[in-house]
Chains A and B, each alone.
Chain A
Amino acid sequence: DSGVTQTPKHLITATGQRVTLRCSPRSGDLSVYWYQQSLDQGLQFLIQYYNGEERAKGNILERFSAQQFPDLHSELNLSSLELGDSALYFCASSVEAGRGNTIYFGEGSWLTVV
């Protein structure tokens, strides 16, 4: 158990809908990362927050947004869902930004868009 908690574990929704994925980082970790894993693309970095502020952005679609709250939990919002958004969404956390060796991943949220 990495200490990173993600909910829900599984989610099935229809195209055009909106979902919110939630992440609680490890105790003491200030940085939260979101990654998307699909069969054909592998693990893709979406976005990073550090202590409530956006720190880095990757290949995140405009239909997707994220935020980190004062209690350091984070939410990833996915809207106008398409079939191609079906993937495993991972949250990861680390104590500080810029230190790859301390990044711990949660178990993921499996999103299926039908």
Chain B
Amino acid sequence: QKEVEQDPGPLSVPEGAIVSLNCTYSNSAFQYFMWYRQYSRKGPELLMYTYSSGNKEDGRFTAQVDKSSKYISLFIRDSQPSDSATYLCANGTGTASKLTFGTGTRLQVTL
């Protein structure tokens, strides 16, 4: 079992829809949680970072962490075609520097 699991998709939604991307993890040592966006053949770009259970909002993006169920979500409101990318969740521990990534969910927002 991988430490971080994501549904690979692809997930196709119409423009303006609310998108829900999900991630589960198995390592209880993970203390901080991130979402990265990666366009095709580009480097991952940090979208959201959080280290506690609950919600964190930044513009159209909301990250939600439930440590009790080891479940992480990213919500995108008013989705745009420019949101079409692969979304990677990443987890890390407090003392280690390396991040453990999920394999990513490919999102396609159609006009």
Contact = CB atoms under 8 A, between A and B. Distances in A.
Nearest to A10: B41
Contacts of B90: 43, 100
Contacts of A50: 97
A76 to B, nearest CB: 15
A85 interface: no
Chief secondary structure at chain B's binding surface: loop
Instruction: Determine which residue in A42, A98, A100, A106 has the highest number of CB atoms from chain B within 10 A of its CB, and name it.
Output: A100
A55 B92 CA distance: 15
A100 B49 contact: yes
Interface residues of B, number: 24
A2 B92 CA distance: 21
Contacts, number: 64
Interface in B67-101: 88, 90, 92, 94-101
A5 to B, nearest CB: 11
Contacts of A98: 94-97
Contacts of A106: 43
- Minimum-distance CB pairs A-B, first 6: A105-B43, A42-B103, A101-B49, A43-B101, A100-B92, A45-B98
A48 interface: yes
B34 A100 contact: yes
A108 B36 CA distance: 15
A19 B40 CA distance: 24
A92 B45 CA distance: 11
